[in-house]
Amino acid sequence: MKTTTSIKLNKKLKHNLILFMFIFYCSFVVSSVSAQITFDPRKTENGLIFGSLTFPKEKANFNGYFLKITCKSTDPKEARKNSKEVRFSPAQILKMRHKGDLDGGLTYLFAIERPAGDYEISGIRLFTNSGFAVLQKNNNIGGFSIPFKVNKGEILYVGNIQFNEYAVDNETVFSYQNNFEKDRVGIKKLHPFVYWDGAKKDDSINISYD
C-alpha cells in the first residue's frame, strides 16, 4: 500500500512539474513578443523616440534591465508622470543569455511614445530574481546623461547605448554611438506600421558623464 501511494505521489509531482514548466514557458514566450506599435503624427500630442541598447557578451548577468528615461520638467508631478522605464528581458529558461533584435542577440531595439518636452536617459536599473521575493534585488547604475527633446508628431532617434555589464575598475561602463541607419532598418522590420522613413536624427545628442 505504501509503495502504491508513493508511486501515485511521484506521478502527481511529475505531472505538476511538467505543467508548471509548460505554463512558465508559455508565459515567457508571450512576454518576449513585442506588441506592434502605430504612430500617426496627425492624431497625437506626443512624439515617438527609438534607439537601442547593446551588451558586450551573450551571457546576461541579470534577470531584467530597465533603461531610465527621465522627464526634465520643472513640475515634479509632470516629471514623475512622463518619466518611463523601458524593460529588456534576457532568455532565462536553460541559461541566462541576451536575446535582442540585432547583432546576434546582443542589441535590443526599443521605441516608445512620450509627451513633448525635454528628457534624458540617465541610468539603468538591474533586477535580480533569486526565486524568493525576499532575495530579489534592484541595483541602479547611473553617472551619465543622454539629453534629448521630444517634439509633437516627430519620430526621433536617441542613439545606441552600449552597456558593459562586465566592466571592472577604470573601464567604461556606458558609451554612445549613432547607429541611425542600422537601427532604423531593424526597427522597421519589427514594427512595420510606423512611417520610419520620416524619422529624424539629432547629431547633437551625445553622452556626458558626471
The DSSP element (H or E) to which 51 belongs, if any, is strand 46-54
Q: Read off the pTM.
A: 0.81
What is the rounded distance in angstroms from the CA atom of residue 111 to the CA atom of residue 133?
A: 30
The whole-angstrom separation of Cα 87 and Cα 31 is: 11
- pLDDT tens digits for range 62-79: 999 999 999 999 999 999
**What are the CA-CA distances from residue 42 to residues 45, 171, 191, 192 (Å)?**
9, 45, 19, 18
Nearest Cα to Cα of residue 114 among 183, 44, 66? 44
pLDDT in tens, 66-124: 999 999 999 999 999 999 999 999 998 888 999 999 999 999 999 999 999 999 999 99
Phi, psi of 32, deg, nearest 5: -85, -10
User: Higher-confidence residue: 181 or 210?
Assistant: 181
Query: Are 51 and 112 a contacting pair, CB within 8 Å?
Result: no
Q: Please, which pLDDT band fits residue 132 given cuts at 50, 70 and 90?
A: low
Residue 124 to residue 144: CA distance in whole angstroms: 10
pLDDT at 62: 94
CA dist., res. 91 & res. 142, Å (int): 24
DSSP string, 100-169: -SBGGGTEEEEEEEEESEEEEEEEEEEEE--SSGGG-EEEEE--EEEEEEE-TT-EEEEEEEEE-TT--T
Q: Is 21 helix (H, G, I), strand (E, B) or coil?
A: helix
Check pLDDT > 50 for residue 151.
yes
Predicted confidence at residue 64, as pLDDT, reads 95
pLDDT in tens, 193-203: 999 999 999 99
